[in-house]
Amino acid sequence: MPSAREALLDSAHSALSALPWTAVRMVDVAAAAGVSRQTLYNEFGSKGGLARALIRRAADRYLAGAEEALGAHRAGVTGQAELARWTVAAARADVLVKALLTGVWADRLPAPGALPAAGPGVPLPTPTELLALVRDRAVAELERGPAPREPGELRLACEIALRLALSYALVPADAADQCAEPDSCRPITPMMTREIDTSLRAETTSSRKIIP
């Protein structure tokens, strides 16, 4: 059974999927979680504190999912492709993850810049910081594989995979529906994996080690 804190965060996330953050009411979040409004305030302090915790959880879940995907494919040669696939899936599934990765905060979201100053704890990452963090974790994870690669090459490969993933994540959903060949547009497909693998081979075997 989830803790009161997790139940409140789940409730707030559900409310955000239906309403802009400005229309989400603390009393409704507490009621949906089955706790008192005082419990909500005791846990987060304010609506801004709740928003900050919600965004922080989205970042943590994205990072945890990336590590899980990488760990499951460490022994193969598709680690970077799996990192990209997870990034696309996470961004498409959660608007907060997408905003964290791209820095594009829609009006309906609780943008970090509009929140009160953070108290003690880990600050919210910028897109650059989040991408650097997941890239470095990916390099550390993949270096533990059976066929470790030169760190600089692996770092480049992971960054390319993340950049490709973000380009897929930013494609509007209706663009995929309008495509003549849907499999070439939908995010999580074998074609995407092939494209990433091809790009990684071309970039990491060339003499030019500059991110495009």
Residue 3 has pLDDT above 70, yes or no: yes
Q: Which domain holds residue 35?
A: 1-45
Task: Read off the CATH number of the domain in which 27 is found.
Answer: 1.10.10.60
So what's the pLDDT on residue 124? 87
17-21, 35-39, 51-55, 135-139: least confident range: 135-139
d(CA 72, CA 76) in angstroms, rounded, equals 9
Residues 41 and 73 in one domain: no
Residue 57 lies inside a defined structural domain of this protein: no
Question: What does the pLDDT average to over 177-200?
Answer: 45
pLDDT score at 36:
94
Residues 129 and 31 in one domain: no
Q: Are residues 72 and 170 in the same domain?
A: yes
Q: CB 84: neighbour CB atoms within 10 A? A: 33
192 and 91 in a common domain: yes
Dist CA 149 CA 182 (whole Å): 35
User: pTM for the full model?
Assistant: 0.77
Q: What is the DSSP letter of 60?
A: H
Tell me, yes or no, whether 52 lies in a domain.
no
pLDDT digits (tens, 9 = 90+) for 73-113: 655 557 788 889 899 999 999 999 999 999 989 889 998 88
